[in-house]
């Protein structure tokens, strides 16, 4: 059948959003694999989410092809049956893709936060999202007994209350979106970095708010569908939920990709007027946007030259906000594995500084809350500088040598 204008908008939006999310996914995988040289579970989950979203786009296309947007009386019976059959498939495909993208975001959180309570809260969310996704898929597939009754009312059997299921699922989506947004807030509020950098980090984690807004709009679209069903015209009323389901899926995929794309985010911050410093080695303030991809212009990666010579054993440096610095990790009570400018180093909560005295950045392991600073060449020795913070200590400084793996 010829597309209605509303169905044409759904198909066009679904195809455009698929291309956009593929673009961001490729950028994320390129950044993680070629620049950071470290792939994680979050990369695999968001890739699966996109792979599942492609059949959703196909399902929406076929729904439109078989009369979505027309009044039921104007749709031939064979087309109507096929339309509702693809609608049945799209309901649980949508749930699977959305659940995988949310799990990808939560998997990124596990690589950032190390405070026990925060990690426990993340795992609670992971278990809840996983259970909710599996349950929703099962309910979506078995919403009618037999499933054929979903698209063919002439088949004898029973079905659940569709709209009640849709309302509950959409409401739980909003709840999980809010939980994902609020999880990082306590750790970010106590982050000991400059105000500008803290704003930049918070902007990164607030990206998920777009997905929450889309979920709320989709809930409104479901209300419109409910009214259309009560009026006896579900085909015509299904265009809005179909449109916003596609938008929600791809917005969530893009939100899962963006935190790894520091060049893109830095460009956005520059366009809105935040100053991003690009000077190196001059003692200037570090960039307000922490490097999320591990990239810092054309600068050589920490330990890159040494890795080629086999001098630094152990895992590769991943860099950025979503990894540890070097082979070590910050203290378990700090809340973050590492947040700061890659060139200037780590900035965490405690007033303990760690500095190298070589111009070339080196791999290090310091089991403390630490700040990595630029140092001077004096033989390649790594020192921890502890500055007294109470009157009884008299502001004295103690330098404690620490062994590092050198060439």
| pLDDT for the residue numbered 22 | 94
pLDDT (0 to 100) of residue 336: 54
What percentage of the chain reaches a pLDDT higher than 90?
Answer: 20
Indicate the pLDDT class of residue 383, thresholds 50, 70 and 90: very low
Q: What is the pLDDT of residue 388?
A: 42
Which residue did the predictor score with more confidence, 8 or 210? 8
Two structure tokens written together for 308: 């080629």
> What's the rounded Cα separation, in Å, for the pair 404 and 382?
7
Extract the tokens encoding 212. 């929450």
Q: Summarize pLDDT for 204-216 with one digit per residue, the tens.
A: 777 777 788 888 8
**Domains along the sequence of the chain with CATH:** 5-268 (1.20.1070), 309-407 (no CATH)
The residue behind tokens 């499933």 is: 147
55 pLDDT above the threshold of 80? yes
Q: How far apart are the first and last CA of the chain?
A: 70
Q: How far apart are CA 57 and CA 63, in angstroms?
A: 10
Mean pLDDT of the chain: 70
**E strand or H helix at 128, and its extent?**
helix 116-141
pLDDT at residue 240, as a whole number: 87
Q: 3-state DSSP call for residue 389?
A: coil
Q: Note the pTM of the prediction, 2 decimals.
A: 0.66
Of these ranges, 12-26, 153-167, 256-270, the one predicted with the greatest mean pLDDT is: 12-26
**Helices marked H in 142-208:** 162-182, 185-189, 195-205
> Looking at residue 169, what is its pLDDT?
87
């Amino acid at each position: 059948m010829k597309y209605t204008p509303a169905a044409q908008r759904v198909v066009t939006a679904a195809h455009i959003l698929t291309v956009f999310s593929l673009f961001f996914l490729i950028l994320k995988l390129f950044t993680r694999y070629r620049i950071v040289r470290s792939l994680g579970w979050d990369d695999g989950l968001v890739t699966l989410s996109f792979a599942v979203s492609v059949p959703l786009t196909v399902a929406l296309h076929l729904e439109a092809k078989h009369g979505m947007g027309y009044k039921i009386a104007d749709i031939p019976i064979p087309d109507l049956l096929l339309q509702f059959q693809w609608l049945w498939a799209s309901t649980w495909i949508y749930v699977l893709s959305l659940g995988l993208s949310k799990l990808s975001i939560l998997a990124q959180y596990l690589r950032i936060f190390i405070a026990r309570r925060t990690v426990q809260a993340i795992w609670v969310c992971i278990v809840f999202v996983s259970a909710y996704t599996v349950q929703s898929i099962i309910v979506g597939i078995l919403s009618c007994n037999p499933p054929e009754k979903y698209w063919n009312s002439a088949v004898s059997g029973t079905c659940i209350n569709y709209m009640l299921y849709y309302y509950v699922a959409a409401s739980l989506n909003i709840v999980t979106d809010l939980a994902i947004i609020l999880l990082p807030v306590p750790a970010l509020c106590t982050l000991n970095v400059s105000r500008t950098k803290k704003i930049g980090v918070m902007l990164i984690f607030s990206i998920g708010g777009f997905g929450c807004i889309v979920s709320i709009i989709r809930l409104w679209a479901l209300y419109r569908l409910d009214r259309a069903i009560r009026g006896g015209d579900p085909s015509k009323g299904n265009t809005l939920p179909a449109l916003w389901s596609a938008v929600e899926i791809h917005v969530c995929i893009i939100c899962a990709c963006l935190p790894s794309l520091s060049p893109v985010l830095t460009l956005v911050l520059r366009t809105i007027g935040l100053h991003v410093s690009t000077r190196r080695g001059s003692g200037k303030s570090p960039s307000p946007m922490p490097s999320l991809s591990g990239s810092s212009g054309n600068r050589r990666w920490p330990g890159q030259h040494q890795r080629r010579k086999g001098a630094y054993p152990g895992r590769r440096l991943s860099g950025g906000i979503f990894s540890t610095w070097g082979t070590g990790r910050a203290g378990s009570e700090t809340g973050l594995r590492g947040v700061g400018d890659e060139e200037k180093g780590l900035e965490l909560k405690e007033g303990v500084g760690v500095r190298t005295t070589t111009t070339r950045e080196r791999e290090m392991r310091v089991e403390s809350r630490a700040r990595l600073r630029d140092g001077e060449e004096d033989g390649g020795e790594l020192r921890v500088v502890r500055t007294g913070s109470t009157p009884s200590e008299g502001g004295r400084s103690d330098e404690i040598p620490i062994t590092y793996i050198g060439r």
